[in-house]
Amino acid sequence: MRFSNSFLDEIRDRVPISDVIGRRVSWDKRKTNVPRGDYWACCPFHGEKSPSFHCEDRKGRYHCFGCGVTGDHFRFLSELEGLSFPEAVQQIADMAGVAMPIADPMMEKREKERTSLLDVMELATQFFQDQLQTANGARARAYLRDRGLTGRTIETFRLGFAPDSRNALKEFLAGKGVPKEQIEACGLVVHGPEIPVSYDRFRDRIMFPILSSREKVIAFGGRAMSPDAPAKYLNSNETELFHKGNVLYNFARARRATQGANGEGTIIAVEGYMDVIALYQAGVENAVAPLGTALTENQLELLWKMTPQPVLCFDGDGAGIRAANRAADLALPQIKPGRTVRFALLPDGKDPDDLVRNEGRAPFDKVMSQAKPLAEMIWGREISTGNFDTPEAKAELEARLKQLVAVIADENVRRHYQQDIRDRLNSFFQPQYQNRGNERRSFERGGQSKGRGNEGPRGARVSGGISERLARSGLVRGHQEVPALRESVLALTVINHPALMQDEYDEIASIDYDSRDLQRLWSGMLGAAAAVAGPHLTREYLVERLEEQGFASLMQGLEQQIRNARLWIATEEAAMEDAREGYRQALAFHKRAKALRWQKIELEREIAEATETGNGEIIDQLMRALQEVHFEGLRLENQEAIVDGFGVLSGRVKKAAASH
């Protein structure tokens, strides 16, 4: 029995190849990455002691790097268990819960007709390619040349030209013996009861063949040459071969590009044919595009079949941002562990074609490196919609975010998103001067508790499980009323020099401040930055947005703190290279301080447990380790003092230079 390609594709897609192979092998726990669908085992086809047999669910393929065997679901069962091809298909169909097709003469006839239609589409493609090289195609060739496309690129994508004629293609196909019914079934002519004589659908257009996953031409997209054409781009209508919402332009070529990157490549979804082609010519071969409409659920599933985290790239104008937001809403219900999307927004007024044609690949790669996670995209969109200076506005934002997150189908992912939203909201809405009540109570108590605290071993006084000397250290005091100087440097340097976010966005977005005031400020700053891109992200813009959110007083306090410490590298006047170096030094100190604080917390916990069991030897060891953390903190503070001195010197030199 002959099986249709669509049936084989369906059951392959429903059954991960790891489920088939996993019944016959034991996966290596060290090398296997289950969330990515990446599995390793000792090869079942030849004896070996170290795992060199690899299979990937995303590709639906296996390969042994030892003996060289390779194949898909059916070949694995045929070669390992000696099943015939129909028997292997039967077993996979049973696993998929899909009934085997019944031998149907009509179905076989339909499959033959489908194959015939593919032959007709191939003839049409060759006709359009030939027409591009004729005198009639001169204007189209000039257009493609002006768009920067080389002859090799035009040939690779098989671009062509449909002449300005109502019957040129129809007559060509008829001359090849193609019956009228097949020409109509391919969608190559406009026909119907109200149309006495059918005519060519594509006229005076540059033609873009659209390929199936098996790299057969199944449809066309046509770009009008005349500015008066009613539609700039025109796609084939829905046919037996072509369902627009299930196809991505350049799918097969992009899939090969990701497979050639050792499985580590991602897929970039852009908005149009020319974007894909221009990126390919610039060396970015892993781009695809929907066919002139918004991304569909089926197209998103296609992206996830190729990569667990595709990047959705949109133009930076208003229409692009709206499209990005629609895509975010589409993806949110379908995300799972190891399956999500990221968003890259181009500078306003630019599309990928413009960017790589005028400036080369590097600016596009930079945009890709700054792609935002889905959670950040949703958060930035929602907090950019207005002011939240009343309880009602805050409640509305909270309700809207909860409603958005509730659509996530996967329970674990939904729970983590709910926690992420709570953390963001708590930080965003934290009262700016929440610590004033604590300060007042501390003043009324005389500043310190009268109690002695707990007695540690050997008479060492412990307050909350830590020695008093260490507790007084600025390193481990925890949340403070006044932000630590290093945190103020970090925050103010980025606000004064937002160009840092072009190269450092991911790291900047992940900074976790001890100061609650700075946590709130950071959420507001990231939200404001998410709403714009490129040259529009200026210090003046950020300051204005943050002042609107009620951070004016806090920023003034940070500015005064920095200037009192004479850390000019964090101020607006600092040169960009000095600001970048100061930011990196402050970030390194900040990360080290947090790591030491976590060490301190863990040691405190262990000391408390050891105290309960009365194990004096373990307590002594832990106290020595705690003291080491303290000394490391002192060394870190000394290093900061040296850097602070450099900042003073640098500031004086810059100030003096400016005065001359």
Q: Which residues contact 303 (CB under 8 A, 6 or more apart)?
A: 248, 267, 269, 288, 310, 341
C-beta neighbour count of 158 within 10 angstroms: 16
Rounded Cα distance, 396 and 165, in Å: 58
233 and 288: one domain? no
259 and 275: one domain? yes
pLDDT tens-digit readout, 420-445: 998 888 888 865 434 434 433 333 33
Q: Look at residue 560 and tell me whether its pLDDT is greater than 60.
A: yes
77 and 120: one domain? no
The burial of 318, by beta-carbon neighbours within 10 Å (0-12 exposed, 13-18 middle, 19 or more buried), is given as exposed
- Rounded to whole angstroms, what are the CA distances from 635 to 138, 538, 639? 73, 37, 6
pLDDT tens-digit readout, 237-257: 999 889 888 899 999 899 888
What pLDDT score was predicted for residue 259? 62
516 and 399: one domain? no
**Residue 109 or 584, more confident:** 584
Q: Which residues contact 288 (CB under 8 A, 6 or more apart)?
A: 248, 249, 250, 251, 254, 267, 268, 269, 270, 276, 303
Contact 611, 451 (CB under 8 A): no
Residue 325 structural domain:
246-429
CA angle 169, 173, 175 (to 5 degrees): 115
Among 96, 125, 141, the domain-final residue is: 96
Please state the rounded mean pLDDT for residues 302-325.
87
91 and 123: one domain? no
- Rounded to whole angstroms, what are the CA distances from 230 to 221, 223, 594? 15, 11, 61
Among 96, 118, 143, the domain-final residue is: 96
Assigned domain for 437 exists: no
The structure tokens 């829905």 sit at 238
The residue among 159, 293, 303 whose CA lies nearest residue 223 is: 159
Strands (E), 332-374: 342-345, 372-373
Stretch (H or E) spanning 288: strand 287-288
**Residue 491 or 450, more confident:** 491
542 and 508: one domain? yes
Which 3 state secondary structure label does DSSP give 139? helix
Give me the number of domains the chain comprises.
4
Rounded Cα distance, 268 and 315, in Å: 13
Q: Look at residue 469 and tell me whether its pLDDT is greater than 50.
A: no
Q: Which of 221-230, 391-400, 620-629 has the lowest mean pLDDT?
A: 620-629
CATH number at 221 reads 3.90.980.10
Q: Look at residue 302 and tell me whether its pLDDT is greater than 70.
A: yes
The segment with the largest mean pLDDT, out of 119-133, 353-367, 451-465, is 119-133
Among 242, 276, 291, the domain-final residue is: 242
